């Protein structure tokens, strides 16, 4: 088995992994670095071509986020015959996101004369080629490779990908969230499949999340405070997942009268993603069947859209802003605006941040992951009154700025728990900044072979890394070997007869094969065996 990081190793962005197993070349995810442009935003396509000699047998997509799917049209154009598998909700959302990507690229071309990476035709072709599979069911898309999608929480449609071949078993975690969210249930443990290799995300490999529901309450109360004092709150949000969570947190806090009622406006991609969650003409289509039961019941009973609503008693107005309303909405009364992009890298959120930041009455609340180089990260590091460069403009930051942790990723303890359910032999840590991945590696290294590779590294993940000592390798090897013997008590003694294949185990050969005697020490419920020789010469 050979693993190669084509992208998404030591970073969050351009996730793309090549697995060469059982004579097959399998590529998992084909993402983009949303904050980079042109070739720099792509996974390493040349390396993929070189390692596979142009033969890729299967593409698997874990979920719809652009850092996992954004380069799919290019990938498909290069390998047009290769089957591409994802879950049904992922397909619905990828359709919207990729069409939007073309719009953004067209805009960038008009701005800076850059040539877009792909056009409408590549997107249409890739979308037409996507095949959907159900969750929780084994399929065999190509002979000798069986695949299973296990719900991974995170966002609607997201899956861990389980792969079974003659040569070994692999789990690719994708992005996982154990905590239940409003729009998606938490991930259930994978305790029914023991992989040889686990490729695991580590976004918060060095973090611990605070209690989710208290963060939600604190956010709702803080938003209400600003609005009641006559201000406007901007919540920059990732279009898919976080924005929908924030809308529902605020809406349900109003319905339960925990906070006062005020309008919620949305702008940017957020709007089209919200639309996709619910098809008014045919409610049982779209994403509704994939949402948590509680939310499905609310929608069916209230006969309302999942997100959009008109003002009525404690029900707030939740609506979309059009591009031509952006300036006029600023002078309208107190409100909250939820807009993409999530890290203030362009998009309507950057426009609103520029307009709102210099008034003390207003607030910008950050609720998601902020890239090291993003304006969102810098915003969190500023002191009141400092200036922040947004879209090339210096803006004095006088408004309130707070951060709330509504993470859609597992934290360190939750990641380690998931690993202990799966009991893999070897782990490759990806999807995180190097610091987070190394911290997580140190937590796991006692029990598993663990790699935290850089992009373009290629290796056999089943082999222990060179820096690991021989004793440690032997320990890891031995830990997985289990032999069951028959016990017979006779007048002469106690006999335990183990199966013949035990003789072939490397630890048996190294430690026990030459032994004349084996000493048994009772160690509570366990027995400890040690080999010894009668004649040490």
The contact set with Zn ion (CB under 5 A) reads 65, 67, 175
**Minimum distance, C-beta of residue 85 to Zn ion, in the bound complex (Å):** 17
| Distant-in-sequence, close-in-space partners of 191: CB < 8 Å, separation ≥ 6 | 421, 422
Give 239 or 344: the residue with its C-beta nearer to Zn ion: 239
Rounded CA gap, 30 and 50, in Å? Answer: 17
The residue written with tokens 């006559």 in the block is 230
* DSSP SS3 for 520: strand
**Minimum distance, C-beta of residue 449 to Zn ion, in the bound complex (Å):** 24
Q: Which pairs with CB-CB distance under 8 Å and at least 24 residues apart come from 438-441?
A: 439/205, 439/206, 439/412, 440/202, 440/205, 440/206, 440/412, 440/415, 440/416, 441/205
**Minimum distance, C-beta of residue 435 to Zn ion, in the bound complex (Å):** 17
Which strand (E) or helix (H) includes residue 203? none
Give 65 or 251: the residue with its C-beta nearer to Zn ion: 65
**Minimum distance, C-beta of residue 64 to Zn ion, in the bound complex (Å):** 8
Beta bridge pairs of residue 159: 151
412-422 helix and 434-444 helix, angle to the nearest 10 degrees: 50
Give 33 or 169: the residue with its C-beta nearer to Zn ion: 33
Rounded CA gap, 181 and 510, in Å? Answer: 51
DSSP symbol at 193: -
CA nearest to 67, candidates 117, 94, 112, 32 = 32
Is the CB of residue 530 less than 8 Å from the CB of residue 519?
Answer: yes
Is the CB of residue 49 less than 8 Å from the CB of residue 81?
Answer: no
Give 57 or 245: the residue with its C-beta nearer to Zn ion: 245
- How far from chain centre, in Å, is Cα 391? 28
Rounded CA gap, 287 and 276, in Å? Answer: 7
**Minimum distance, C-beta of residue 16 to Zn ion, in the bound complex (Å):** 11
Query: Sign (positive/negative) of CA torsion 76, 81, 86, 89?
Result: positive
**Minimum distance, C-beta of residue 431 to Zn ion, in the bound complex (Å):** 6
Is the CB of residue 20 less than 8 Å from the CB of residue 1?
Answer: yes
Give 175 or 206: the residue with its C-beta nearer to Zn ion: 175
The residue written with tokens 């309208």 in the block is 332
**Minimum distance, C-beta of residue 290 to Zn ion, in the bound complex (Å):** 16
Give 175 or 245: the residue with its C-beta nearer to Zn ion: 175
Rounded CA gap, 30 and 63, in Å? Answer: 10
Beta bridge pairs of residue 532: 517
**Minimum distance, C-beta of residue 15 to Zn ion, in the bound complex (Å):** 6
Give 233 or 430: the residue with its C-beta nearer to Zn ion: 430
The pairing of beta strand 168-172 with beta strand 387-390: unpaired
Give 67 or 371: the residue with its C-beta nearer to Zn ion: 67
Longest Cα–Cα distance in the chain:
97
Give 57 or 67: the residue with its C-beta nearer to Zn ion: 67
| Helices and strands (H and E) in the chain: how many | 16, 26
**Minimum distance, C-beta of residue 201 to Zn ion, in the bound complex (Å):** 7
Give 66 or 254: the residue with its C-beta nearer to Zn ion: 66
The pairing of beta strand 426-430 with beta strand 449-451: parallel
Is the CB of residue 440 less than 8 Å from the CB of residue 433?
Answer: no
Give 195 or 342: the residue with its C-beta nearer to Zn ion: 342
**Minimum distance, C-beta of residue 63 to Zn ion, in the bound complex (Å):** 6
**Minimum distance, C-beta of residue 94 to Zn ion, in the bound complex (Å):** 12
Q: How many residues does the chain have?
A: 537
CA nearest to 473, candidates 452, 447, 451 = 447
CA nearest to 187, candidates 63, 10, 28 = 63
Determine if the peptide bond prior to 208 is cis (ω within 30°): no
**Minimum distance, C-beta of residue 461 to Zn ion, in the bound complex (Å):** 20
**Minimum distance, C-beta of residue 155 to Zn ion, in the bound complex (Å):** 6
**Minimum distance, C-beta of residue 66 to Zn ion, in the bound complex (Å):** 9
Give 179 or 464: the residue with its C-beta nearer to Zn ion: 179
Is the CB of residue 240 less than 8 Å from the CB of residue 64?
Answer: yes
Is the CB of residue 401 less than 8 Å from the CB of residue 366?
Answer: yes
Give 149 or 265: the residue with its C-beta nearer to Zn ion: 149
* Cβ neighbours around 536 below 10 Å, total: 5
Give 165 or 418: the residue with its C-beta nearer to Zn ion: 418
Which strand (E) or helix (H) includes residue 250? helix 242-255
């Amino acid at each position: 088995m050979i693993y190669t990081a084509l992208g998404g190793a030591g970073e969050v962005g351009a996730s793309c992994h090549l697995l060469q197993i059982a004579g097959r070349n399998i590529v998992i995810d084909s993402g983009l670095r949303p904050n980079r442009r042109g070739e720099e935003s792509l996974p390493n396509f040349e390396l993929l071509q070189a390692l596979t000699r142009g033969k890729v047998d299967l593409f698997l997509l874990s979920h719809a986020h652009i850092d996992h799917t954004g380069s799919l049209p290019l990938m498909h154009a290069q390998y047009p015959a290769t089957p591409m598998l994802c879950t049904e909700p992922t397909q619905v959302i990828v359709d919207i996101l990729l069409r939007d990507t073309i719009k953004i690229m067209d805009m960038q071309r008009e701005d800076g004369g850059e040539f877009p990476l792909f056009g409408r035709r590549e997107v249409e072709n890739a979308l037409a080629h996507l095949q959907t599979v159900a969750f929780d069911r084994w399929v065999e898309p190509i002979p000798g490779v069986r695949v299973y999608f296990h719900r991974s929480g995170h966002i609607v449609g997201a899956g861990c990908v389980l792969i079974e071949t003659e040569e070994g078993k692999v789990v690719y975690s994708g992005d996982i969230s154990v905590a239940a969210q409003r729009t998606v249930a938490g991930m259930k443990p994978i305790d029914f499949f023991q992989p040889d290799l686990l490729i695991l995300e580590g976004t918060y490999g060095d973090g611990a999340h605070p209690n989710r529901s208290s963060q939600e309450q604190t956010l709702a109360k803080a938003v209400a405070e600003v609005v009641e004092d006559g201000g406007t709150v901007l919540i920059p949000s990732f279009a898919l997942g976080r924005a929908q969570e924030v809308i529902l947190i605020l809406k349900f806090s109003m319905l339960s009268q925990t906070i006062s009622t005020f309008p919620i406006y949305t702008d940017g991609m957020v709007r089209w993603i919200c639309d996709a969650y619910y098809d008014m003409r045919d409610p049982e289509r779209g994403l509704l069947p994939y949402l948590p039961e509680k939310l499905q019941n609310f929608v069916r009973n209230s006969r309302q859209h999942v997100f959009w609503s008109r003002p009525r008693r404690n029900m707030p107005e939740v609506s979309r802003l059009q591009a031509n309303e952006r300036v006029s909405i600023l002078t309208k009364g107190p409100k909250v605006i939820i807009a993409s992009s999530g890290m203030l890298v362009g998009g309507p959120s950057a426009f609103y941040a520029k307009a709102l930041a210099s008034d003390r009455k207003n607030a910008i609340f950050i609720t998601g992951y902020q890239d090291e180089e993003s304006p969102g990260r810098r915003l969190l590091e500023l002191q009141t009154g400092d200036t922040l460069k947004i879209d090339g403009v210096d803006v004095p930051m006088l408004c309130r700025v707070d951060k709330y942790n509504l993470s859609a990723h597992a934290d360190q303890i939750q990641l380690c728990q998931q690993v202990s359910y799966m009991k893999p032999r070897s782990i490759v840590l990806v999807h995180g900044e190097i610091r987070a991945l190394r911290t997580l590696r140190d937590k796991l290294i006692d029990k598993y072979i663990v790699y935290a590779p850089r992009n373009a590294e290629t290796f056999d993940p089943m082999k222990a890394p060179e820096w690991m000592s021989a004793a440690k390798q032997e320990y890891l090897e031995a830990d997985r070997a289990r032999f069951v013997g028959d016990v017979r008590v006779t007048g002469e003694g106690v006999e335990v007869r183990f199966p013949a294949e035990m003789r072939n185990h490397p630890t048996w050969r190294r430690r026990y094969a030459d032994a004349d005697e084996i000493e048994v020490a009772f160690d509570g419920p366990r027995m400890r065996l040690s080999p010894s020789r009668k004649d040490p010469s």
